[in-house]
Amino acid sequence: MQDYYEPKVGDLAPDFQLPSTRGRDMRLEELRGKDVILYFYPKDDTPGCTAEACSFRDLEGDITKGGAVILGVSTDPMESHAKFTNKYKLNFPLLSDQTADVSKMYGAWREKNSNGRRTWGVARMTYWISTDGRIKKIYKNVDAAQHADEILADIQAARKK
């Protein structure tokens, strides 16, 4: 049973404003005219999240050449994001969603079961938001290490059409 809202492909992506590692709040609306890769991840500096962030870092130039902007979102505080960004030289902004409001708006706030213990947290998922602000594609159950490659391949395929 689903007890959270999850936008669908074709929906207008919910606007938000969150603090970023770029030193200012970022609003999704400000990025209209660009494709946005909005990826949600559970926690800074954990093995899967580090692999995912580093793969986005390594492909950031190719992804932005394809006309897209990468934004990473977790509920970690800005101090944690700053350390994570500096440690791995991340070249795209991380956004701090400490209240989980944005994660909830996007259906990324989920109940998890770890060794029989139920907790709530951010699920690893990504939204590709098109230049008109509509959701173009949703990626769920992603492989952290391969996800950026999948996004880049999809962007390149879309540009060829």
Residue type, 153: A
Beta-carbon contacts of residue 116 (< 8 Å; ≥ 6 apart) = none
Q: Are 133 and 50 in contact (CB under 8 A)?
A: no
Catalytic annotation, pick one of 13, 26, 36, 49: 49
Residue 151 to residue 158: CA distance in whole angstroms: 11
Residue 107 to residue 110: CA distance in whole angstroms: 7
Active site residue 54: no
Tally Cβ neighbours within 10 Å of residue 136. 18
- Catalytic (active-site) positions: 49
